[in-house]
Homo-oligomer: A and B are copies of this chain.
Amino acid sequence: MESLYPDTIRLLIDSYAGLTPELQKAARFMVEHPEEIGLNSMRGVAREAGVKPATITRLTKTLGFPEYESLREPFRQRLRTRSPEFAAKFQSVQRRGEAGDRSILADLRAQEMANIEFSLSDENLPIMEDAAQTMHDSRRVYVLGLRGAHAPAFLFHYAYQLFQENSQLLDTSAGIFADQLRGIGASDSLLVVSFPPYTQLTIDAVEYAAEAGAQIIAVTDSVISPAANAAAHTIVTKNQSPSFYHSFTGALAVTQALITMLVTKAGGDAVKIVEEAEKQLSRISAYW
């Protein structure tokens, strides 16, 4: 990454830690949007970075530049010399990655984007909306995802428990799995994430919950998946991948969207509660 950037970026990064908060804000924007420095006026950069013009001036002085123009010039230069195909004027720019195993990665990107597009499709939105309502109305919300599916399940539960206290992530450690489900009943719901090859334990758990009368919300790959058998709401997501392993980005996007809906339903304070909770957790080493 270093070689791609002018030395000035390096300087920005190295100086970052010793800067004041406002200068950090400016420096950070510059590091993350280097093009804008070459493209816009100083005041324009300040505006985009959410900072006063004077702050940019101070930053240039702090970094050791005599005036803003000296800081800007390298960024300009970089934009000037970057794309040689600029010389080929009115040609449409077709810059796909080079050949070789890069193309696999390009496929991967395309596939993942398709997964997202499908998972958050217009058809799925009303289903997700209903599912969120069901969970919102539940006494307890159980969350289940084993093996790879643990990732989206965990994230859902983690985000959810920041603003609600009635969730339970089903855990397989120490053989307590069955115990956790014992209390499930008709006024509860179970969010289950499951993809082929389906785990037997997941299927059993869903069956048990369904018999207990719980509402099942299934995030899975097909309406005929075993997880969807007894489900009240089935959210179908793509999990295809050009790689050997299926992808969970679609499922993750779905669970994140569900969280968004649930926070909205939870009312106005929820947003602030979550933000506060996260900030506090980051400071105190909660798990140390």
Is the beta-carbon distance between B279 and A222 smaller than 8 angstroms? no
Is the beta-carbon distance between B92 and A6 smaller than 8 angstroms? yes
Does A65 touch B at the CB level, under 8 Å? Answer: no
Does A136 touch B at the CB level, under 8 Å? Answer: no
Does A4 touch B at the CB level, under 8 Å? Answer: yes
Given A116-B112, A154-B151, A234-B1, A222 and B32 contact (CB-CB distance below 8 Å)? yes
Does A22 touch B at the CB level, under 8 Å? Answer: no
How many copies of this chain does the complex contain? Answer: 2
Does A49 touch B at the CB level, under 8 Å? Answer: no
Does A117 touch B at the CB level, under 8 Å? Answer: yes
- Residue of B with least CB distance to A279: B197
- Residue of B with least CB distance to A35: B80
Given A39-B76, A93-B3, A116 and B109 contact (CB-CB distance below 8 Å)? yes
Given A36-B80, A101-B264, A151 and B146 contact (CB-CB distance below 8 Å)? no
Given A243-B256, A248-B256, A282-B197, A39 and B80 contact (CB-CB distance below 8 Å)? yes
Binding site for B on A (CB under 8 A): 1, 3-4, 6, 9-10, 12-13, 16-17, 27-28, 31-32, 34-36, 38-39, 76, 79-84, 86, 89-93, 95, 97, 101-102, 104-105, 108-109, 112-113, 116-117, 120-123, 125, 127-128, 146-148, 150-152, 154-155, 158-159, 172-173, 175, 177, 196-201, 204, 222-224, 229, 233-234, 236, 241, 243-245, 247-249, 252-253, 256-257, 259-261, 263-264, 270-271, 274-275, 278-279, 281-288
6 closest A-B pairs by CB: A197-B282, A172-B287, A109-B120, A151-B155, A243-B260, A151-B151
* 24 pairs of residues in contact across A and B, judged by CB atoms under 8 Å: A1-B233, A1-B234, A4-B123, A6-B89, A9-B90, A13-B223, A17-B229, A39-B76, A79-B79, A104-B260, A105-B120, A108-B260, A109-B117, A109-B121, A113-B113, A175-B288, A200-B282, A201-B287, A201-B288, A243-B256, A243-B260, A244-B271, A249-B249, A249-B252
